[in-house]
Structure 1
Amino acid sequence: MRAGPALRDPAQRVEPGTEIEWSNPPAPAGRPALLGTPGSAELRYLALGPAPPWSEGVLEDPVERDGPTLRFWRREVRGGVAEFELEPSAGGAETIRRHVAAAGFPLLGDASFGGVLVEGGLRLRPAPLPENLREQAPEAWWPSEPVFAPELSAPGEAGEGACLEVSQASLRALARGHPWILTDRETGDTGRFRPGALVWIRAAGGGARGAGRTVARIEGKGSIAGRVWAREVVNLREAPSVEARVARALRRRTQLLSPPRDTPRTDAFRLIHGEADGLPGLAIDRFGPLLRILASGRSCEGFEERALDAVVEAMRLELGSDPPVVRVAHLRERPRGRLRAVELVRGKPPALGPGSLPSGCLRVCERGLSFWIDPGLARPEEPSPGVGLFLDQRENRARLAALARSGGRWLNLFAHTGGFTAALLAAGAREVLSVDLSAAYLRWLEENLALNGLGSPRHRAVRGDGRQVLARMPEAERFDGIVIDPPTAAAAGRRFWSVRRDLAPLVADALRRLAPGGTLLVCRNDRAARGGLARLVEEEATRTSVALIRLEPAPPGPDFPSLPGFPEGDPFEGVLAQRSLGGRARGRGADSPNRAGGRRTKRA
């Protein structure tokens, strides 16, 4: 083994295999051993390590598919360090150390697997037997010194100069307005800090602080190193507080929070939208009596509780002082295994819906219509961002409902649970055909229609691939409106759906099926192709000789604000197209839509 220097900083890291010479003497003789001996599969262990974002789970072997698993329970958390209860299915200490290191939270003192070194050595020991549950932890079980480097703080305090070095490429991206610091070869060691810690951003190699004195919150090890918290500040006091950011976000949603008295009830909308609201990695939605947190990054761990407290206080009159709060850890990177990612973290479970729906459904309202949504509590290992009703499509449902007041035949492809279908029928559509490949979604759709008294001969549901259903229709079949709101990718029987490959031909088929004057709503969630959806629709209209008199954006509502230069924060791109009353284009001189005002202009 290679001998290393004396270790004075408890947060210092060393390469595996390096032998450490302690600058302070080891624990006195007679102190209880901190290293547990390997035991049988039935033996449980206690350990200390960086706190993971999941309260419990089962980690799979990082190498062997059929290797031993490790079940863990997160117990107490102090200063970013958690005590775990661990139960390997086979093996002992070696299995534990390998699994937790691969999962991203190596044990304290475990130099061989990249753990933070602390005085006293590896923090792993057998758990007390059931008859000894009151047994006290060994002396100095919890490190006496901070495990993580201090985060940015006021001048004169320990973290005054906390910095993360980044590359020039990262600084250029920040200068363009992007709020993420992507990890590259020049990125400093984010593991020195706990997730959510505040740091200055500085050019690698000891240069001046970059990006106009930018403050970021640490994300951790992974593809994203940190997320911007404040720009152009001289000290931390200049950055808006968490409470000020929440207050500003809620002011942007005044029309939803305090609508006019005669407005139909809406109690399902987004309150906090991550980076666009200055609260990176955090979304908070209201669903009737419930608040739902969607944590898409660990940077929000530094302010999540304060943000939630501010939201609860602001909505106290309507939701009470202790509303139910569901938290979903929807992280970009997660280890292999089954993890408890959905939890009720505050309040009591709300009243739930009928048993014919997915277990744990809740009733919410949108513009006077009722819908069943699934907060996810019945499937805690599935951190789905969706709940069965896409809040970001609320404004588009209203746009199409306004058009359906005059009646007409409508086709809803990728119908999901029927949000568009219910809005169209309630507005007065003469007929709606809903198509989806999922029988479960179509049952959910029927429950939503029944909830609103809309189950009638005016609606027909078809289970199938929307592409095939459209292709098999009689040639003369026409619709006054068509909705295409597909997933980015999905299994579709023998034909896998890919929005990049399959959207353009589907748009072409839909345009041909539009009646003169008919409307097509197309949405796409493809971050790599943002900004090109209108062009795609226009190109397909030209290719199919369908003349359009209107082509305009159909974005999400104001509760999903957009941040310039950050397409990753936009839930989708939407376009509304209207076919001309004449129907088909007239050759080379055909009319082309003016995207700004909807008037027709000659194609160049």
Structure 2
Amino acid sequence: MQPLFDAIASMSAPVDAQRIFHGRGGLHPECAHLSLDFFPPVWVLTSFKPATDGELAAIGAALERRWSQLAPGETLQWVFQCRHEGQSSTQLMGGSVPDPHWVTEEGARYRVNVGRGQNHGLFLDMAEGRRWVRAFVKARPDARSRVKVLNLFAYTCAFSVVALQAGARHVTNLDMSKGALAVGQQNHRANGVLAGASFLPHDLFSSWGKIARGGPYGLVIVDPPSYQKGSFVATKDYARLIKRLPDLLEPDGLVLLCLNAPELGPKFLQEQMSALAPELDFVKRLANPSTFPDVSDERSLKVLVYRAPPGVQPEV
């Protein structure tokens, strides 16, 4: 576990939530099952296989040493989550977890929950996607060009928060989980942008009429789970979604397509777009955060930008 110990020994104490060590990227095979995140003021260690008491004690000691240097006199707060064979468990290893627990990212506030469940309320690997959305919306400063956004699989609506902070006209957030959208409403309220958003707790594939009536949209964000039974399975459902995209976009509108499935490379999306929505032009693939290095662009998070015809859009 030396690469993890090295990362701990050299880490800073970021103000914003972010990943500290990304073993899942495969650069350190002996630590491929480990990741370390900081949701200030709590450190979150995740392992995709069981850890021994000795391993946890060694990691805890390393965190304690570094934390005493970064924040003298402050209690180390950290949790351990084990995800193995479809099961997930979380243990509080030191200190306590704030309740409610709010973190920041580039000036936006988000409510998170690191004490239970696999998803904590903010996907750190999508930081560059949120940064791109903020920049794209901000590039349309006058009232006539303010963008209307459709945020599919919105989860806790982080994309919506940054879009509205940047000046979006309106964001429609759709997700099957009422609980996730309730947290999303809290996020909007905490950032003073609740009035610009709507929240639809619906199944996407039975809501096309309602979604279409709210359009057309200048930006459609598609960030689904890669496999969630009863909600979305990328290998069969992405095609159904892609077919609908041209009808949802205004001229020159953009779509942000996201896929986090190591077994599916970018060609999975690109080939389906070419076959099912050929009128949409590929613009670029967004880089992933530097804190998520990966041995393969094929395996890592895919975030692709496409544009509807015709016209010229501000540079993105």
| TM-score category (smaller protein) | 0.7 to 0.9
Structure 2 match to 1:345:
93
User: Using the alignment, how far apart are the partners of 2:167 and 2:194 within structure 1?
Assistant: 13
Root-mean-square deviation (Å):
2.9
Deviation at 1:563, TM superposition (A): 2.0
Distance 2:179 2:310 in 1: 38
Alpha-carbon distance in 2 for matches of 1:350, 1:473:
38
- Following TM superposition, by how much is the alpha carbon of 1:533 offset from its aligned partner in structure 2, in angstroms? 3.7
Residue 143 of structure 2 is matched in structure 1 by none
Instruction: Please tell me whether the aligned partners of residues 42 and 97 of structure 2 are also in contact (alpha carbons under 8 angstroms).
Output: yes
Partner of 2:197: 459
1:161-240 equivalences in 2 (<5 Å): none
Quote the offset at 1:385 in angstroms. 2.7
Tell me the residue number matched to 2:309.
580
Tell me how far 1:438 sits from its aligned partner. Answer: 1.4
Distance 1:580 1:344 in 2: 52
> 2:262·2:298 contact (CA, 8 Å) conserved in 1?
no
Shift of 1:431: 0.9
**Alignment length, in residue pairs?**
303
Superposed counterparts of 1:498-509, under 5 Å: 498-509=233-244
1:443 CA drift (Å): 1.1
Q: Paired residue for 1:480, among 218, 231, 239?
A: 218
Distance (whole Å) between structure 1 residues aligned to residue 183 and residue 194 of structure 2: 12
- Superposition pairs for residues 262-273 of structure 1, below 5 Å? 266-273=15-22
Q: Go from structure 1 to structure 2 and tell me whether the alpha carbon gap of 1:270 and 1:545 turns closer, same or farther (over 3 Å shift).
A: closer
Change (3 A) 1:424 1:273: same
Distance between the aligned counterparts of 2:52 and 2:288, measured in 1? 24
Aligned to 2:34: 282
**Inter-partner Cα distance in structure 2 for 1:242 and 1:473:** 45
1:539 is matched with which residue?
274
Distance change >3 Å, CA 313–CA 511, structure 1 → 2:
farther
Given that 1:418 and 1:448 are in contact with CA atoms closer than 8 Å, whether structure 2 keeps it comes out as yes
8 Å CA contact 2:264–2:298 kept in 1: the answer is no
Cα distance, 1:280–1:299 mapped onto 2, change above 3 Å: farther
Equivalent residue letter for 1:512: D
Supply the distance in 2 between the matched residues of 1:241 and 1:414 (Cα, whole angstroms). Answer: 35
| 2:172 is the counterpart of 1:433 | yes
C-alpha distance in 2, partners of 1:490/1:395? 24
Look up the match of 1:326: 79
Which residue identity lines up with residue 285 of structure 1 in the other structure? D
2:291 pairs with 1:559? yes
Matches within 5 A, 1:403-418: 403-405=136-138, 406=140, 407-418=146-157
CA distance in 2, matches of 1:299, 1:506: 40
Once the 2 structures are TM-superposed, how far is the Cα of residue 243 of structure 1 from its aligned partner?
A: 3.5
1:275: Cα distance to partner? 4.8
Name stretches of at least 5 consecutive residues in structure 2 with no aligned partner.
141-145
Equivalence map 1:287-436=2 (5 Å): 287-298=39-50, 303-316=55-68, 318-320=70-72, 322-332=75-85, 341-347=89-95, 349-353=96-100, 362-377=101-116, 384-405=117-138, 406=140, 407-436=146-175
Deviations 1:332-381 (A, max 9, x none): 366xxxx8x2111112x13312xxxxxxxx1111111111101125xxxx
Map 1:29-108 to 2 at 5 A: none
Q: 1:317 to 1:419 in 2, by over 3 A?
A: farther
Is the contact between residue 268 and residue 286 of structure 1 (CA under 8 Å) also seen in structure 2?
yes
Name the structure 1 match of 2:6: 244
- Structure of greater relative contact order (alpha carbons < 8 Å, 6+ residues apart): 2
User: What is the aligned partner in structure 2 of residue 527 from structure 1?
Assistant: 262
Q: Which has the larger radius of gyration?
A: 1
Question: Cα gap change, 1:284/1:441 in structure 2, threshold over 3 Å: closer, same or farther?
Answer: same
> Is it true that 1:490 corresponds to 2:231 in the alignment?
no
CA–CA separation in structure 2 for the residues paired with 1:435 and 1:274: 32
Paired amino acid for 1:504 = A
Contact 2:137/2:147 (<8 A) preserved:
yes
Identity, in percent, stands at 20
Tell me: CA distance 1:300–1:524, structure 2 relative to 1, closer, same or farther (3 Å).
farther
* 1:453 CA drift (Å): 1.2
Are the aligned partners of 1:511 and 1:520 in contact in 2 as well (CA < 8 Å)?
no
Q: Which amino acid aligns with 1:385?
A: Q
Match of 1:156 in 2: none
Indicate if the aligned counterparts of 1:275 and 1:563 stay in contact, CA closer than 8 A.
no
Displacement of 1:322 in angstroms is 3.0
The 8 Å contact of residues 128 and 289 in structure 2, kept in 1 or not, is answered as yes
Q: In 2, distance between residues paired with 1:241 and 1:443?
A: 39
Q: Secondary structure at the match of 1:298?
A: coil
Amino acid at match of 1:427: A
Determine helix, strand or coil for the equivalent of 1:460: strand
Question: How far 1:473 sits from its partner (Å)?
Answer: 4.2
> 1:440 & 1:558 partners in 2: Cα distance?
31
* Distance of 1:482 and 1:420 partners within structure 2: 11
Partner secondary structure for residue 225 of structure 2? coil
CA gap 1:314/1:454 in 2 versus in 1, 3 angstroms: same
- What are structure 1's unaligned runs of at least 5 residues? 1-228, 230-239, 259-265, 354-361, 378-383, 584-597, 599-604
Amino acid at match of 1:295: S
Query: Any idea what SS the aligned residue of 2:243 has?
Result: helix
TM-score after normalising by structure 1: 0.46
Query: Is 1:447 the counterpart of 2:186 in the alignment?
Result: yes
Instruction: Tell me the alpha carbon deviations over residues 136-158 of structure 1, each in whole angstroms, 9 at most, x when there is no partner.
Output: xxxxxxxxxxxxxxxxxxxxxxx
Q: Which has the higher helix share?
A: 2
Which residue is equivalent to 1:512?
247
| More divergent stretch after superposition (510-519 vs 411-420) | 510-519
